[in-house]
Chains A and B, each alone.
Chain A
């Protein structure tokens, strides 16, 4: 029984999401192979070979894979699918885009965003915005799975997998990459950060959001936001934490001026420690917070920065 992990990478390096997925793949039992479909992605392939638990890295090289188009990467995974009991990808924009295509072509169900491997054919996954957890069993020959990365630890280094080239599938010719606009940030990546400071509508403006900067700097935190803050245009949309944004599970999550709508809680309630700063004592965020301060964020946040020294 062997599992194939479709690696998310940028050709030069492996994304952290891939590491967490490898852990989930290993829990399915058996060997773990990693597919790097990319263009001149030797560095990413070498990185994958060093991950503990990986026994083989398969490299499909070609310009048609350079930008991770779903049509081409899914076709490549399908070309290799025979013989694998499990095919996994991270439940990120990348993995979720590709994997259902693979499942449909194999005529199997796909299991989305698993948070636990119960057995090789049985998994737990949240639904209804995290308000219920389903335990599902698949009787399909191949289990096709996306993995909620925050639910699995990253494996250690120390692997020495063999790297093997595979025949690349041809370009589908039906889609092409045009451009990419990546928001630049010196802060840690939101989904990987140990501390996240998030702001909501209570901040009131794009300008006011800067009040969170010193706090984030002090804690080495990533900055996040509620959907209300994103929709109001205070911050870019890739900051959004929630059911329709990113799911995070840091050691410390500080929610500032966020009421705590169901859709937001779905993205952060697995954080180890949650702190809420809100002037409304009735705000639902206090029902999940370990520590709450009822007060004006414009006074509390600077005071907190000062107290941290």
Chain B
């Protein structure tokens, strides 16, 4: 079984981004970039499926700037066998990415595509579901457990209020939640090995996909700040403030 794992290069999750003063976007020049944390979990899950003898080949895919190569190298250091980079300078929105991934899936014919549930930059939480729709495949989002048995995938999903188990007929789409696994650290020997693995370079035009953005961002602003709070000396003062000042209890 071939597994496809889309990965995204995003601003590192420890970086607090700043809105540009002209409100055109957030300032991401010279900030640390990393693989989207949910995608790391997706790569790890694919590698575990391979180690368990369920998957035969893992292909990592990334769409975006040329530097996304680094993200693909990381995926290959975790254990992906080879990579595809769809290179473009245009801002990619989830629908465009889903269309690019569909074109690659048509070519590679994977049985399973594992994506992160959302990217921590645009917080969209759409690409996996959109890809499932375009391919007409079933989906299991927010997975915390994946079991492959023959042509079925049994997936435990994190839903509001608890857990839900669904069974999908392969080929299928799974999106990862945080608790699916703990991604391994990449080791130096594996980073060296990853340098020898191949990355195929493509352009959106090679795949016949129009990636023009559909949503126009008119402006980006800072969230409303909160008025400075106070430190109270004791619980009696706190309760008094909550009752008489904030009037919330």
Q: How far is the CA of A211 from the CA of B236 in the complex (A)?
A: 19
Q: Given A290-B246, A291-B242 in contact, is the A137-B216 Cβ separation under 8 Å? A: yes
A101 to B218, CA, bound (A): 26
Is residue A232 within 8 Å, beta carbon to beta carbon, of the partner chain? Answer: no
With contacts A174-B137, A179-B164 taken as known, whether A133 is within 8 angstroms of B231 at the C-beta atoms is no
Give the residue of B154, B179, B215, B248 whose beta carbon is less than 8 angstroms from that of A136. Answer: B215
Query: Contact: B249 with A137, CB < 8 Å?
Result: no
A21-29, A39-47, A55-63, A123-131 - the one binding chain B? A123-131
Q: Which of A92, A128, A275 has the most CB atoms of chain B within a 10 A radius of its CB? A: A128
Q: Pick the residue among A101, A231, A238 that contacts B130 (CB under 8 A).
A: A101
Interface size on A, residues (CB 8 A): 88
The answer, yes or no, to whether A210 is at the interface (CB within 8 Å) is: no
| A101 and B133 alpha carbons, distance in the complex (Å) | 5
B120 within 8 A of A: yes
Chain B interface main SS type: mixed
Are A139 and B229 in contact, CB atoms less than 8 angstroms apart?
Answer: no
Q: How far is the CA of A94 from the CA of B159 in the complex (A)?
A: 8
The answer to whether B221 touches A172, judged by C-beta atoms less than 8 angstroms apart, is no
Residue of B at shortest CB range from A101? B133
Are B178 and A227 within 8 A (Cβ)? yes
Q: How far is the CA of A308 from the CA of B126 in the complex (A)?
A: 45
For A176, the closest partner residue in chain B by CB is B167
Contact with B along A113-140 (1 / 0, CB 8 A): 1000000001000111111111111111
Tell me the complex Cα distance, A243–B117, Å: 12
Does B242 contact A178, Cβ atoms closer than 8 Å? no
CB of B171 to closest CB in A, whole Å: 10
Cα A192 to Cα B190 with chains together (Å): 47
CB-contacts of A261-309 with B (<8 A)? 262-263, 269, 272-275, 281, 286, 288-294, 300, 303-304, 306-308
Q: Which residue of A lies closest to B136 (CB)?
A: A174
Q: Which of A93, A128, A135, A275 meets B159, CB within 8 Å?
A: A93
Interface flag for B52 (CB, 8 Å): no
Q: Which residue of B141, B227, B231, B238 has the most chain A CB atoms within 10 A of its CB atom?
A: B238
- Inter-chain CA distance A304–B249, complex, in Å, is 13
Contact of B161 among A112, A183, A243 (CB under 8 A): A183
